[in-house]
Amino acid sequence: MAPHSPLDLADDDPFGPHHLPYGVFSALAEPGGPGRPGGAGRRRIGVRYGDHVLDLGAAAEALGSPHAALLAGPTLNPLLAAGRPVWQAVRAQARAWLTGPEHRRAVAPLLRPLADAALHLPFEVADYVDFYASEHHATNVSTIFRPNAPALPPPWKHLPIGYHGRAGTVVVSGTPVVRPRGQYRGGAAGPVAGPTRRLDFEAEVGFVVGAPSSHGRPVPLTALRDHVFGVCLLNDWSARDVQAWESQPLGPFLGKSFATSVAAWVTPLDALDAARTAPPPRDTPPLPYLDDSAAEPGGLDLALEVAVNGHTVSRPPFSSMYWTAAQQLAHLTANGASLRTGDLFASGTVSGPRPEERGCLLELTWGGREPLRLPGGERTFLEDGDEVTLRATAPGPDGTRLSLGEVTGRVLPALPEGPGADGAA
């Protein structure tokens, strides 16, 4: 066995042969290219293996895969559209190439250190929906914003509440987030416009739709695996002052649409079989189309972690989510709305029952009333220069663990007001 080959991973590597998440990368030092992060070389589909990325398109070409055409482009969308039997075949092939001794000579040159790769948005986002599926989060938010109202809105335990977000502002991990401007409640003189004073993160899990569905044909909750390709961590950046002023009665609009960050790596749903777990007991029986009592366990035992400037501020458990991805998919198609390849739906903020498991600053600081103490100073909401990173681990097969790709982003100061400000920085 050759020493130091990227093909020789430790058994407990969280990006080992049991994981194999997909992404899109380009070379940082492409011949003839400027070599800057974010777009120098040609974009290629890759599979993460340890701290390397396998050029999957090149491997498929070199090793003669029948699916090479799906893997040759700059996004995952053709693979996503191909459906589950092809996803399984490509995954099995990638695993065989990375672990089979007979493929070492061909595959080793196609592995690139992650340090030499720029990572891009892995798929073209079609429609984006964000849910509100944590009972602990929904209860806390209601209590903070509407202390005299019931803890949960009347429909909350009858359907997974969601809203349509803005697909065009989904950005890949590492993309800076400019502090948005907006309108929010002022003093007696009325509302004011300006940079948000209450910029927040929301720790969430995103589900990436592969195979589309027909218009007019609801997707049953038993069909999750036929349509959802995989999972990625997601930060639903939120301007709380803008959101609080604009949201009654239609829900979030500009308070959320300025940016949503996703991880650069999509973990196939098939890699998370060992993470499946029963959702928390429901005290309100759901209607038949949402009743999962006879289905396979729909929860996922993902252990999330939120860090602000490198300091862990929360550890939200995804296993505590009341509504599952399968129920969310069934609900969002229940009226006949169709799925498109590249649709992204997110879980909603993941908050567990304990204070240290809350998935956003709104809850962690209880509406700004209880500042967090961080090594760099107190925080109620995010300041310019702050960096937020979400990570997660999950059980893999045979006692292994895998790590979802992280999602990180740094807050940049708001742009100056007025026309002509675009590009002034």
Residues at the site binding Mn ion, with contacts judged by CB under 5 A: 130, 202, 236
Q: How far is the CB of 131 from Mn ion (least distance, A)?
A: 8
* Between 255 and 396, CB nearer to Mn ion: 255
Selected catalytic residue, list 19, 136, 137, 227: 137
* Between 25 and 128, CB nearer to Mn ion: 128
Residue nearest to Mn ion (CB): 236
Q: How far is the CB of 360 from Mn ion (least distance, A)?
A: 8
Q: How far is the CB of 32 from Mn ion (least distance, A)?
A: 42
Among left, alpha and beta (phi > 0; psi -120 to 50; other), residue 272 is alpha
* Between 236 and 292, CB nearer to Mn ion: 236
**Whole-angstrom Cα distance, residue 42 to residue 32?**
11
Is 120 among the catalytic positions? Answer: no
* Between 90 and 177, CB nearer to Mn ion: 177
* Between 54 and 350, CB nearer to Mn ion: 350
Q: How far is the CB of 215 from Mn ion (least distance, A)?
A: 27
Q: How far is the CB of 7 from Mn ion (least distance, A)?
A: 39
Catalytic residues: 137
